[in-house]
Structure 1
Amino acid sequence: MRFLLACLGAPVISFGLLLFMAGLINKEVSEHKHNEETPYFDLVMINQDESVTRKIRRKPEPPKPVQDTTAVPTETLKTSIPNPNVNASLDLPNVDLSRSVTAMAIYLPGIKTPAVPAIAQSGDMTAIPLYRAEPRYPRKALRLRKQGYVLLSFDINEAGRVNNIEVLEAAPKHLFEKAARQALKKWKYKPMLIDGKPITQTGQKIRLDFKMDA
């Protein structure tokens, strides 16, 4: 009997609770809507005839450079180049440079060159020296008061220039060779002619003597 009553009363009680809860929810929603404020918009109309004032900013002009009127003294540099004097005195101990230096004694062994070159009718002619540069006496040799000689071999090409210079003999060694070679490089010849055509003349020899006059 109790079980039957419980089964019949349970649905009634549940339905009543649902109605009660629904009524509470509707009441809260209505109160919330009533208390909520309605938003509004304030529209302000702007007259198009009103002028708008704009401020234009201009970039300030840079200050003009002030010219310095102070006179700046100018200095003229004059470089004097002394003319080289070949006979200038050298500061060398125990050497009397007032004496002349003979630095060239030449011979050509095996080559007979007449005082006036003879030109054959066929157009043959031996090489004729046109310019001979005198070698410079080395300072070391002057300081040591050394004398000596250098025997050189060389060729004369078709243009009359000296090439293929070789030192055959020197006394003393490693003292006069450089000066002798430098001088011989500057020599110029009228080349040897065979049938009127210049040819290279090889196997030439020359001896340069380096002597100090007493």
Structure 2
Amino acid sequence: MPEPPKPITAPVRPTENIVDTGDNLQISSETPSVDLGKFTNTMTLQFSTDGQATPLVRSNPNYPPAAARDGVEGWVEMEFAISPQGEVIDVKVTNAEPKRVFDQAAVRALRKWKYRPLIVDGKPQPQYAQRVVLEFTLEQ
């Protein structure tokens, strides 16, 4: 039986791999990959959150075809908020390398994520200043 998901804390840029197993989300040492012909996209997620955000649904970004073809790798750091309904809102790219190559794919994927809302006194609360870094790497 898989371990229940661990809450994400705020250490300095930890690297955790998240695997969606259907109903449950679990942290795993396995890295999700997408077959791109001669390349394999390996995506590493780095979380730095100020709240107790628990991801429930995660959508992997699509590796931009031009970047895959040209062998370009990089990462996108984003800041966002979580609504009381657990939806990702107010996504802003705060840093990226290379600039503007992976931004659109990363933002589009993050907007599909769903979180367990923070409950305070029995009521769901918004969570602000959440951060995530999506890394895009190719393996030959």
- Same fold, TM exceeding 0.5? yes
Aligned to 1:98: 38
Q: Which has the higher helix share?
A: 1
The 2-side partners of 1:163 and 1:105 are apart by 19
Aligned to 1:130: 56
1:199–1:109: structure 2 CA closer, same or farther, 3 Å change rule?
closer
Aligned to 2:94: 168
| Aligned residues of 1:160 and 1:190 also touching (Cα < 8 A) | yes
Matched, 1:191 2:117: yes
Aligned to 2:132: 206
Aligned to 1:145: 71
Q: 1:137 offset after TM fit, Å? A: 0.4
Aligned to 1:159: 85
| Aligned residues of 1:165 and 1:181 also touching (Cα < 8 A) | yes
The 2-side partners of 1:171 and 1:163 are apart by 23
| Aligned residues of 2:39 and 2:68 also touching (Cα < 8 A) | no
Q: Which runs of 5+ in 2 are unaligned?
A: 1-33
Higher Rg: 1
| Aligned residues of 1:100 and 1:212 also touching (Cα < 8 A) | yes
Q: 1:195 offset after TM fit, Å? A: 1.4
Deviations 1:136-195 (A, max 9, x none): 100110121100000000000000000000000011011100000000000001101111
Within a 5 Å distance, the mapping from 1:1-214 to structure 2 comes to 87=35, 97-108=37-48, 110=50, 126-214=52-140
| Aligned residues of 1:103 and 1:137 also touching (Cα < 8 A) | no
**Aligned sequence identity (%):** 36
* More contact order relative to length (CA 8 Å, sep ≥ 6): 2
Which consecutive segments of 4 or more residues in structure 1 shift more than 6 A?
Answer: none
Superposition CA RMSD, Å? 1.7
Aligned to 1:63: none
Q: Which has the higher strand share?
A: 2
